[in-house]
Structures are given as structure tokens and as C-alpha cells.
Amino acid sequence: MRKLVLLFIFAVSISCFSQNKQILYNFTSVPQSMLINPGSDVKYNWFIGIPLFSGFSTNVSSSGFSAFDLFANNGIDFNAKLRNVVFSTSRNDKVSINQQLEIFSGGFKLGDWQKGSYFSFGMYQELDLFGYVPKDYAILALDGNKDYLGKIFDFGDLSAKGELLSVFHLGYHKNVSEKLILGARGKIYSGIFNLSSTKNSGYFYTKPGTTSIYEQVISSNVLVNTSGFTNYTDNYSDNVKSDILKKTFFGGNLGLGFDLGLTYYPKENIQFTASIVDIGFIKHTSEVRNYSYKGYYKYEGLTPDFIIGNSNNLIKEFYDAIPLDTLSLKYTTWRPVKFNSSIQYSFGDGRNTDCNCIGNEMKFKNSVGAQLFVMSAPRTSLMALTTYYRRKFFDSLEMKATYTIDSYSSKNIGLGLSTTIGKVNFYVLADNLLEYRDISKANSLSFQLGFNIIFPDKKTPD
């Protein structure tokens, strides 16, 4: 029972997070870099992504523990390993999963090159999950409260938001001058599934009583919002596949958003970029179900073992203390906002006698730089700092190596390769390469790949 309770707690303590894509950011030989900065300095005449194969990315991260800590075949009982994880982590440790699949994408230059305008479009599916370790819930599930007299267990540990959605986007960027490029992207979100539980409060404690041996108090103000699930729980008889497909193509809960970005060259070999992504919301109006746990309960008695109880039935005891109300109220969720910024210094002449392309990105063979990533989160903003080196080996092959420090790892080394053979562009990006020796011990792993058809701009350089 305790094991099931712990799995339940970790499952419901999930919230939304779009992982930092530090290798892809400003890696402009890959068209998908425009999704992170709509003001990227790209030089394609036009491109089209191979449907369902142009962009796939996945990321799994955790701070405080790894899969090895829980599932290692080392002769240690699982319950003992679970206890070690719970008591070695804090409520600020995190677990996250991010997956993205590009359904289709494309872009093309508008007018002649001197006007410097570019239009891009596409659609992708995204899954975002992120959760803080709910330490107080976990301790109660493992040990109950009998050994924690006077300790206040915080129900605010549950701050959760997770979703599966599709995004249709239209982007436009313009070379305002030789030094400045500005870009913007509009988005339509179609929510497929959503779970949201934020700003919860409440507490539970046990202490010696004044008129009896023990006094126990539980005060709860918890609300869990869901959308997209009710059809599958209320005698559902339709086709699940076609229903999800309908939600993917604007049949779900809809929302709007936008991205902004820029690239600026104070000098020919010095570049500054910045972008802000996913300023937007989704309005949840259909298939909505809300679960409310609100109330106050005070108990005085002989046993402090209220949570585990003599029947060892946590769920029943909790429902007896705080009733569950099921509602159907509309609600709005906001997308997590991501900010990126980088500065880059380029050197080494990257042009040869056969090159007839233009743009600051194409003139230099080597680049070094630093990137800052910041994202809004339920408690405190998440941050990452990356340094990188880019190198063009040939006109058709480019490499980017990164070193990143974030809350998951201080030894994150990544590598990205992009090659164009004929008109076909292929890219593969992976970080935390040192952890691939034993991925079960990794705290973070990320992988991206895709295929595009690219027609580069071919004008004689200045």
C-alpha cells in the first residue's frame, strides 16, 4: 500500500516545463532554431521539413536522485531505496519530462534579398511534465505521523501542472538593417489533456493535546483542475485515436500565444541575440473536471497514527477528514515563459572561392559564446548558463559543442552536428554525453534529431 501511495504522490505532483534547448538555440544551420528565436539570422531561400521527421526531441531530468537510486539491481530492497531517495531529497528537487514532435514545417524568403523578410510556419505536438518532490506527502505515506509529533506537514508541496497539446504557428522576421534582425511568431494552442494544481495551501500536524493524549489538525485548500479526460471516464464508447486526432487539429481547448526575438551585430564578428517564447494561455472550457479538497478537521484521541490508521487505508482516512467535491468549472492556464539570450564572438574566415552565400553567420569559421536561459516555474524561475563553441568544417558540415550548468547537472557536455547533403539537411543534438556510459545514473538526458529540405540563398557576397 505504501509503495502505491508513493507512486500516486509522484504522479500527481507533475507540472509543466519546456526544457532548455541550449544546443539548438542559435544553431542557425538548423531551421528549427527559429522556434526558439524567431529573429534568428537564417539564410535559406526556402525550406520544408519532412513531415513527422523534421523535428523530434525528448528530455528526461531529475535533481536529487536518478533511476539507478530506485531501480538498481544491487540486492537492496526497493522500500529501503525509496526511503533513501525520499529522505535525501528536498521539496525543491525536481523531476521533468519534455517531448516534442514536429508534424510539419516550412519557410520561405519574401521578395528580394535586400528587403530581408522571411516567413515561416508549422505545427508541432508537445508533452510537458515537471514535478517537485513532495517530501512531506512522501514522509506521511511512508511513516505516518506517529514519529513526527509537532511537525507541520505542508500541503503546499503540491504545486502541479502538466499538459499534452498541439501548436500551430506563423512566424515573420525582417532584416531591419545590416546589423539588426527582428522577428515575431504567433501561435494557436490546442490543448489535448491538462492537469493543473497550483497555489494550494494547508497543513497537518499532531501534538500532545490539552484534554486528551493527542490533538491532530488537518486544514486543506487543494484544487486539482483537469481537462480532456472526462470522455474516457464517463462510459466512453467512441474511437480514442480519432478523438485525440481531432483535439490535435484545433478540436481541443484553444489558446493564443506569441514569441519575440532579435539578432544584433554591434560589430561584424560580435553577435547578440535574445528571445522570449510562449507568452500565451489556454482557456479550458470542454471536458473540464475539478476536484476540490477543502475543509478543516480537528481530532483528539489516543493514537497519533491518523494517516496510516489501523486499517492502513490512507485514501479512505483522508476522504473522511476532508470531503472530495467534484465540479465542472472553466479555468485558464498560462504557458511557461522562456527567455533566451546569447553573446557570440566569431573568428577565422569561413568563406572559400566556391562559397557564394552571404550573411554574418556565414563569414566566419569559428564562434565562441555564452547563453542564458530563464523559465518561469510555480515556485522560483529555473535558470541555466551555457558556454559553447561552433565550428564550420566544410560548407555542408557544422558542429556545436556546449557546456551547461543548471539545477540538474554541473557537468553537462553537449554536442550538435548539422550536415546538408545536396538539399537534404540532417541534424542530431545530444547533451550530457558523459552520462551515456550508464544512463541509469544520469540526472539529465536530452536528444534531438530531424530532416529538412533546404534551398540556401545564393547571392554573391559583398
- How far apart are the C-alpha atoms of 215 and 302, rounded to whole Å? 9
The length of the chain, given as a count of residues: 462
Q: What is the mean pLDDT of the chain?
A: 81
Q: How far is CA 388 from the centre of its chain?
A: 22
The pLDDT of residue 311: 45
- Higher-confidence residue of 441 and 262: namely 262
- Higher-confidence residue of 132 and 356: namely 132
- Give me the amino acid identity at 140: L
The pLDDT of residue 38: 95
Query: Contact 308/144 with Cβ under 8 angstroms?
Result: yes
Q: Report CA torsion sign: 436, 439, 441, 442.
A: positive
Mean pLDDT of 37-49: 91
Flag whether pLDDT at 313 surpasses 70.
no
The pLDDT of residue 348: 85
Structural domains of the chain ordered from first start: 2-145+163-188+258-284+336-456 (2.40.160.40)
Chain segment 389-441, per-residue pLDDT in tens: 999 987 789 999 999 988 777 788 999 999 999 899 999 999 888 877 766 66
Q: Specify the 3-state DSSP secondary structure of 81.
A: helix
Flag whether pLDDT at 188 surpasses 70.
yes
Q: Specify the 3-state DSSP secondary structure of 426.
A: strand
- How far apart are the C-alpha atoms of 363 and 378, rounded to whole Å? 43
Flag whether pLDDT at 7 surpasses 80.
no
Flag whether pLDDT at 458 surpasses 70.
no
HSE, CB side, 13 Å, CA atoms: give it for residue 81: 14
User: φ and ψ at 272, to 5 degrees?
Assistant: -125, 130
The pLDDT of residue 258: 97
Q: Which residues does residue 287 pair with via DSSP β-bridges, in sequence order?
A: none
DSSP state of 419: E
Flag whether pLDDT at 18 surpasses 60.
no
User: What is this structure's pTM?
Assistant: 0.82
Pairing of strands 424-431, 44-49: unpaired
Mean pLDDT of 372-398: 88
Flag whether pLDDT at 160 surpasses 80.
no
The pLDDT of residue 115: 64
- Give me the amino acid identity at 12: V
Flag whether pLDDT at 152 surpasses 50.
yes
- How much of the chain exceeds pLDDT 70, in percent? 81
Flag whether pLDDT at 28 surpasses 80.
yes
User: pLDDT category, 82, cuts 50, 70, 90?
Assistant: confident
- How much of the chain exceeds pLDDT 90, in percent? 38
The pLDDT of residue 419: 93
Q: How far apart are the first and last CA of the chain?
A: 72
- How far apart are the C-alpha atoms of 17 and 450, rounded to whole Å? 22
The pLDDT of residue 77: 74
The pLDDT of residue 13: 40
- Which burial class, exposed, middle or buried, applies to 235 when counting CB atoms under 10 A from its CB (0-12, 13-18, 19+)? exposed
The pLDDT of residue 26: 93
- How far apart are the C-alpha atoms of 99 and 277, rounded to whole Å? 17
Mean pLDDT of 290-310: 69
User: pLDDT category, 11, cuts 50, 70, 90?
Assistant: very low
Query: Contact 219/296 with Cβ under 8 angstroms?
Result: yes
Lowest-confidence range among 104-118, 145-159, 234-248, 292-306?
A: 292-306
Long-range contacts of 351-354 (CB under 8 A, 24+ apart): 351/461, 352/395, 354/395
Lowest-confidence range among 112-126, 166-180, 218-232, 281-295?
A: 112-126
- How far apart are the C-alpha atoms of 293 and 218, rounded to whole Å? 11
